[in-house]
Structure 1
């Protein structure tokens, strides 16, 4: 049994359609997660054009917004996630040494 394969990060990315910012945010998020959280994360993408009622639960006022649900406390990052250092600090992820 692999203890490393436990989901430690539950991330939600709120977008509104396939805009350039939304696509960039998802691409960046997947890249960072693969580099720093391999096998320890799940990403749920919520398109507010299709499910606008879900914005209220996480108090989403701007998009794209990344919400870290687990581990607590909940953290949010707004924007296209292009600044890797800001995203890692915002999510409280210690970068893996390269």
Structure 2
């Protein structure tokens, strides 16, 4: 089980300001504020600007969310519109369930 006090390091890979990319970022911010208040960092990487960074996390589709910390690394592909799938995928325990 992840430490509650740990800062979550999340990296969102996008390709420009497409509707899917904007939706993914907005959804991610909303979930983080609801469930990880003050305990997260979001790094947004635009692969149109920095395409070489896709290789490091083996990104094959965008948008892709990568949870760097806590380990293990987890990935979710898509616009993150399914909150339950995102929380389960990232192994976030909703605050209202604690």
Both structures adopt the same fold (TM-score exceeding 0.5):
yes
Once residues 57 and 97 of structure 1 are traced to their aligned partners in structure 2, the CA distance between those partners, rounded to angstroms, is 35
1:49-88 to 2 correspondences below 5 Å: 49-88=48-87
Q: Give the aligned length.
A: 94
Structure 2 gap segments, 5+ residues each: none
Contact 2:23 2:80 in 1 (8 A): yes
Once residues 91 and 7 of structure 2 are traced to their aligned partners in structure 1, the CA distance between those partners, rounded to angstroms, is 12
When the two chains are superposed, the root-mean-square deviation of aligned CA atoms in Å is: 1.3
How many Å apart are 1:8 and its aligned residue?
2.0
Matched residue, 2:90 = 91
Matched, 1:24 2:20: no
With normalisation by structure 1, the TM-score equals: 0.92
Once residues 77 and 87 of structure 1 are traced to their aligned partners in structure 2, the CA distance between those partners, rounded to angstroms, is 7
Contact 2:8 2:69 in 1 (8 A): yes
How many Å apart are 1:7 and its aligned residue?
4.9
Matched residue, 1:33 = 32
Q: Which runs of 4+ in 1 moved over 2 A?
A: none
> What are the Cα deviations for residues 73-93 of structure 1, in whole angstroms up to 9, with x where unaligned?
000000000000000000000
2:67 aligns to what SS in structure 1?
A: strand
Once residues 96 and 82 of structure 1 are traced to their aligned partners in structure 2, the CA distance between those partners, rounded to angstroms, is 19
